[in-house]
Structure 1
Amino acid sequence: MSWASIEWTRWLFNFAFFYPIVMAFFWMTGGIYYYLRRERKAPKPDAPPAMPESPFISILVPCFNEEAHIAATITALSAQAYPDFEIIAVDDGSTDRTPELLDALVADHPRLRVVHLAQNQGKANALRIGTLAATSDYLVCVDSDATLDPHAARWMVGHLIDGPRVGAVTGNPRIRNRTTLMGRMQIGEFSAIIGLIKRAQRTYGRLFTLSGVICAFRRTALHDVGYWSDRMVTEDIDISWRLQMAGWDIRYEPNALCWILMPETLRGLWSQRLRWACGGVEVLLSHGRSVLGWKKRRMWGVLLEYLLSLAWAYVMLTIIVLWLVGLFVQLPPVWHVDTILPRWHGVVLAFVCMLQFATSLLIERRYEARMARHFYWVIWYPIAFWMLGMFTAVVAFPRTLLRRRRRAVWISPDRGATA
């Protein structure tokens, strides 16, 4: 084997090792800067600053088969500490008792209006219908199984009022179901990974995606880009890219808290993460080339980060495959992988991972006083969720390439235990 091929192989192994380390410090640096500049001296989540005006807002709740959670969601929305708003629930052809429950809730929640659709057309279509029914230029979108903090709408709408080029604001999802190891690991994921990444991306330029479970939009910005696409698996990633490519700003508001349910079974988690991965690939295929234009250069960092993460997944898969093949076939020394168990490089990765978790948990203490008690559970995150992310990314790319474009309808997800 030539020297060039040996060096190329070495580069692959070095990339698999150094990429997560470099990105961890990249996220930590951006997250710390964001915290020091925007969060450290900011008011607490339950004491938002006064606004010069409080315009009427519309809260949109797309629903599909949510009989177990819709009452709690509507009750929390009705308790928003905001002076003037309406709630529009769009029942997207539910086959359970959701339509009847929504109609009954109108009597107890006078701000609530209900729109019934004859059949399941997908979340994107439900949001478009809700926008047509709304009477405000400011739209707060909440998933029908989420519990919104009383001050969340105020925090997000404040950005839309302050910045005329702000097209959307994403909130801070918090894990509600914490009865299993998988649920507790996701507490660390949403704070140490997702929250820190959003802070860093906001510091460096653009966000990869809004959190579809809790976000706010300016109606004129949505109209400018043609609203949500019902042909995309993840409408939140797609609308995030299209808004930013059109020159609209997207902001992250960590004080806008929203309590959500997440899968706690391997099957449910795999289905959710595969859908997320497919959504990322769809956006790459749909918008990747147009992002390369000079006028859209602020999106280059987001595109590069995603491409590198996708490359890392395939490099890791290559290493695992080489190790498995080497158990049965004698490979050339340059391709031989002795073991995939951690050695000194595993210790370094673990240390950097713990440093990242510690950094984020310190930042997140202002939103949950006892975040440190979750530190033990997140040490299992790299083993479980890195592998899950790698395999879903590897599967998502060919699956998305081969998938026929059709309307993306809802399938009720696994939401774990609620106790």
Structure 2
Amino acid sequence: MTAFVDGLAVFTLAYPSLMAMVWMCGGLYYYFQWERRDLALAKRGLTLPSHPRVTLMVPCYNEGANVEETIGHLLRQRYPNFEVLAINDGSRDDTGARLDRLALGDARLRVLHQPNQGKAMALNHALGEADGEILVGIDGDAVLDHDAVMWMVKHFLESPRVGAVTGNPRVRTRSTIIGKIQTGEFSSIIGLIKRAQRIYGTVFTVSGVVVAFRKSAVEAVGGWSTDMVTEDIDISWKLQLGGWLIHYQPQALCWVLMPETVRGLYKQRLRWAQGGAEVMLRYGAQVLRWRNRRFWLLLLEYAASVTWCYGMLFLALNWLLHPNLTTLAEGHFFAWSGVLMTGICLLQFGISIFIDSHYDRTMLRSFIWCAWYPLIYWLLNLVTVIVAVPKAVLRRRGQLAVWESPDRGESFRE
């Protein structure tokens, strides 16, 4: 038993550092292989050989305070051939009335109304009404960069195998320490993960707040699943299992509102963790087939993450029962593990800030908050995964997944 506990302790200490190294190497490779060319192209000015019709889909639920800003930025896209399709999903506030009023002032905006049935149902509703060959999904509280559509369409023109392109969300809410830390997290964790996963061929999830789809690809996989709590993770796996590729485009910037309270952050990350577990339960057996072997690294990464969370729980319970674990502190590995993990964490943030400072000049300011990241976010990931996996197992299949208004940060409260 002692050998097992010691081995588990080594794994729990080594895993975060190992994954950080994978993300850093993948992120740097992506940057030097592809990203630098797009940065140079952005300075010259991006032009496309053609401009297929694009439908910007905006599912909205209780977005009265934000929807006018969101729609206003969409209507100022520099892409020449688009329409905006806003879906009011049974909002209880004045979202529907605001959208109808906006539609009267611009023929490019159409508004759909439906009872509250969730984001996936709203997207499926828009899928049936969209005129575009390319569908761009934007949350009702997000602000899309004026050139984002152009950069995402570029991928569909370059390869007929591309089924989706996930964009680059940037945090707007930075008035509390939680908001400031998320600024670094979206760069040093989410951004690097997207780049690394793009290198080994499969992406765990698109960013639901800013993503483009080939309409024919979405139709081929049956649209969005209405019974999954995270429709973005689900559609990512459905597309890739269907043989489509997902690309990442950091030039497709989108400014998003994120929780700035512990409660709001916990609820958001719990939903993300449950969504990941639901996808694994639904598609895990299919992924194990030989023809889906490109998913195996992704599956291994997820399995290791869950093992780490429950391993930490086991060690904590074991410590409560047998608090004298002095043997774990013996040897140079354990003596220097804390220093090593801190150094790797800071290196990871340094690399991500170097890369993402091309898109956000204020990134360097977030470096001071990096020291809080391991304490807050690894602990949060630990708790949410432990809670989410049983919730995913027990959740009844076919149950409609509806949404509720999120915590959007202290600086955006009415």
Deviation at 1:404, TM superposition (A): 1.8
Amino acid at match of 1:291: V
Q: Report the Cα distance in structure 2 between the residues aligned to 1:177 and 1:270, rounded to whole angstroms.
A: 16
Name the residue aligned to 1:408: 401
User: Relative to 1, partners in 2 of residues 1:332 and 1:313: Cα closer, same or farther, differing over 3 Å?
Assistant: closer
CA–CA distance in 2 between the matches of 1:289 and 1:47?
A: 47
Contact between 2:55 and 2:82, CA under 8 Å: does it hold in 1?
A: yes
Name the residue aligned to 1:63.
Answer: 60
**Distance in 2, Cα, partners of 1:198 & 1:12:** 28
**Counterpart position of 1:381:** 373
The 2-side partners of 1:409 and 1:378 are apart by: 34
- 5 Å-filtered alignment, 1:106-121, equals 106-117=103-114, 119-121=115-117
1:282-301 equivalence runs, <5 A: 282-301=278-297
User: Counterpart of 1:129?
Assistant: 125
Instruction: Tell me the distance in 2 between the aligned counterparts of 1:332 and 1:364.
Output: 42
What amino acid does structure 2 have at the position aligned with 1:19? Answer: Y
**8 Å CA contact 2:5, 2:315 repeated in 1:** no
For residue 257 of structure 1, what is the aligned residue in structure 2? 253
Q: Which amino acid aligns with 2:282?
A: S
Contact 1:319 1:337 in 2 (8 A): no
What TM-score, normalized to structure 2? 0.95
Distance 1:78 1:46, change over 3 A: farther
Whichever residue aligns with residue 409 of structure 1, its letter is: V
Cα drift, residue 60 of structure 1: 0.3
Check whether the contact 1:46–1:151 (CA below 8 A) recurs between aligned residues: no
**Alignment match, 1:314:** 310
**Which residue of structure 1 lines up, in the alignment, with residue 70 of structure 2?**
73
Q: 1-side partners of 2:375 and 2:9: how far apart?
A: 18
- Find the partner of 2:36 among 34, 40, 46: 40
Corresponding residue of 1:54: 51
Output one character per residue of 1:306-359: Cα deviation in whole Å (capped at 9) or x when no partner: 1100100111112222233445xxx6877x899xxx963222111111111101
Say whether 1:28 aligns with 2:21. Answer: no
Show the counterpart of 1:93.
90
Distance in structure 1 (CA, Å) of the matches to 2:59 and 2:301: 31
Q: Give the Cα–Cα distance (whole angstroms) in 2 for the partners of residues 36 and 275 of structure 1.
A: 34
Residue ranges of structure 2 left out of the alignment (5+ in a row) = none
Q: In structure 2, give the amino acid aligned to 1:72.
A: E
1:57–1:85 Cα contact (<8 Å) kept? yes
Q: CA deviation at 1:294?
A: 1.0
| Match of residue 238 from structure 1 | 234
**Which residue of structure 1 lines up, in the alignment, with residue 340 of structure 2?**
348
- For 1:107-133, what per-residue CA distance to the aligned partner results, in whole angstroms no more than 9, with x for missing partners? 33331000011x210000000101111
Deviations 1:164-202 (A, max 9, x none): 010000000000011110000000000000000100000
Q: Distance in 1 between matches of 2:37 and 2:260?
A: 36
Q: Is the 8 A contact 2:274 2:389 kept in 1?
A: yes
User: 1:272 and 1:221 mapped to 2: Cα distance?
Assistant: 28
Deviation at 1:84, TM superposition (A): 1.1
- Give every structure 1 segment of 4 or more consecutive aligned residues whose post-TM-superposition deviation is greater than 4 Å: 44-48, 331-334
Deviations 1:62-97 (A, max 9, x none): 000000100000001001011010000000011100
TM superposition shift of 1:55: 1.4
Structure 2 CA distance for aligned equivalents of residues 90 and 257 of structure 1: 22
1:270 aligns with 2:262: no
Change (3 A) 1:95 1:173: same
**Contact residue 183 and residue 262 of structure 1 kept, 8 A:** yes
Structure 2 SS opposite 1:418: helix
Kindly indicate whether residue 74 of structure 2 is the aligned counterpart of residue 82 of structure 1. Answer: no
Aligned mates of 2:362, 2:138 — CA distance in 1: 26
Q: Please name the residue that 1:395 is paired with.
A: 387
**365-374 or 308-317: which moved more?**
365-374
How far, CA to CA, are the matches of 1:222 and 1:83 in structure 2? 23
Aligned to 2:65, the other structure's residue is in SS state: coil
**Structure 2 CA distance, aligned partners of 1:366 and 1:332?**
47
User: Which of 155, 166, 171 pairs up with 1:170?
Assistant: 166
The one-letter code sitting in structure 1 at the alignment partner of 2:168 is: N
Is this contact kept in 2: 1:176–1:418, CA < 8 A? no
Work out the CA distance in 1 between the residues paired with 2:27 and 2:39: 18
Give the distance between the partners of 2:11 and 2:325, measured in 1 at CA.
21
Separation in 2 of the partners of 1:321 and 1:175?
36
Deviation at 1:46, TM superposition (A): 7.4
Give the gaps of 5 or more residues in structure 1: none
Contact 2:194 2:203 (8 Å CA) reproduced? yes
Q: CA deviation at 1:213?
A: 0.3
**Residue deviations 1:9-61 (CA, integer Å, cap 9, x gap):** 22101100111111111111110000001112323657652111011111000
Distance 1:372 1:332 in 2: 40
Secondary structure of the corresponding residue to residue 411 of structure 2 = coil
CA contact (8 A) 1:31 1:200 kept: yes
Cα drift, residue 283 of structure 1: 0.5
Task: Give the TM-score normalised by structure 1.
Answer: 0.94
- Is contact 1:80–1:150 with CA below 8 Å preserved after alignment? yes
Q: What is the correspondence of 1:136-285 to structure 2 with a 5 Å cutoff? A: 136-285=132-281
Partners of 1:66 and 1:42 lie apart in 2 by 34
Partner Cα distance (2:326, 2:7) in 1? 15
Change (3 A) 1:281 1:337: farther
